[in-house]
Amino acid sequence: MTTPAIHTQDLAKRYGKTVALRALTMTVERGQAFGFLGPNGAGKTTAVKLLLGLARPTGGEAWLLGARIGDRRARLRVGYLPELFRYQQWLSAREVLVLHCELARLERATWRAEIARTLETVGLTARADDRVAGFSKGMQQRLGLAVALIGAPELVVLDEPTSALDPVGRFDVRRIIGELRERGTTVFLNSHLLTEVERVCDRVAIVDRGEVIASGGVSDLAGEPAVRLRVTGLDPAARGSLAAFGSVQDEGEWLHVRGLRDGAVPDLVAEIVRRGGRIYAVEPEHRTLEERFIELVGERERK
């Protein structure tokens, strides 16, 4: 049986009296693009540091690519783009990648092709021999992404990969994540840009105060499909019969129906007309991942 790319069980980290991570339990299956979301101070960066062996846990357990966290052989199969990074300003982009080919212990004979491939992937081929000192923030972000892709890792951990990028750069990152997923690479994406996560991720986990408070498919977490209809001419019995389509909230001329099955809106409209109703508006509703995120975190704050 294939082991998950990441699995944690009650993973915890304390710094003195400060609880940075309380009891993180989650599983990231191989080949997924997995979004890791949470407000500032939720423990996301701490979790990444523990997974990559940059800090030691004070409780719980975790496995990375089938090995316990801290295993050096497993870490060689992981690519990592930290949120904050700096490369030596006097090096060229190519020289930065040469350094990381050596750190990744790639065979020297493969370096030239590997560097050419990653530069092409992130759109820096034409700037390969330019010094980092002359790079914009967006270009440095692309270089950091190239470093994370060196050696075709099995797992790529991206911490805010689009934070310094313009719309074209964000589109390129989405494209790269899609290509990684297609070839079976697992992508672990930590981002504050929930619209980006919603576009590229298969599953997400929302963490708050060091614990996972919700996880699942993006569409599942965003909520059930719903529709609002402006309707007249329906008697109470006819309105009541619409419960067969989902949860109906009667708002006078407006009906709000949640929990519809896929493709049920035409049948709902036909039923209303059959029962003598007149329809003036049909407004499909889709709650975004960002709205669900705010709702979940807000509930925790109120409690």
Band of residue 286 on the pLDDT scale cut at 50, 70, 90:
low
Band of residue 128 on the pLDDT scale cut at 50, 70, 90:
very high
- Checking if the pLDDT of 215 tops 60, the result is yes
Band of residue 106 on the pLDDT scale cut at 50, 70, 90:
very high
Band of residue 284 on the pLDDT scale cut at 50, 70, 90:
confident
Q: What sections of the chain are H helices per DSSP?
A: 44-51, 72-75, 93-103, 111-122, 137-149, 167-182, 194-200, 218-222, 236-241, 265-274, 289-302
pLDDT the model gives residue 32: 92
- Which class is 6-216 in CATH? alpha beta
When pLDDT is averaged across residues 257-271 and rounded to a whole number, the result is: 81
pLDDT the model gives residue 43: 84
Q: What is the 3-state secondary structure (H, E, C) of 48-104?
A: HHHHCCCCCCCEEEEEECCEECCCHHHHCCEEEECCCCCCCCCCEHHHHHHHHHHHC
Which pTM was predicted?
Answer: 0.78
**Alpha carbons 19 and 30: distance in angstroms, whole number:** 30
Percent of the chain whose predicted confidence (pLDDT) is above 70: 93
pLDDT the model gives residue 112: 95
- Checking if the pLDDT of 1 tops 70, the result is no
What are residue 11's DSSP bridge partners? 24
In the CATH scheme, what architecture does the domain 224-286 have?
2-Layer Sandwich (3.30)
**Alpha carbons 33 and 187: distance in angstroms, whole number:** 5
End-to-end alpha carbon distance in the chain: 41
When pLDDT is averaged across residues 141-161 and rounded to a whole number, the result is: 92
For residue 232, the tally of other CB atoms under 10 A from its CB is 11
Contact assessment for residue 6 and residue 188, using Cβ atoms and an 8 Å cutoff: yes
Band of residue 263 on the pLDDT scale cut at 50, 70, 90:
confident
Band of residue 86 on the pLDDT scale cut at 50, 70, 90:
confident
- Mean pLDDT of the chain, nearest integer: 87
The residues spanned by each domain of the chain are 6-216, 224-286
Weakest-pLDDT range from 38-47, 49-58, 112-121, 173-182: 38-47
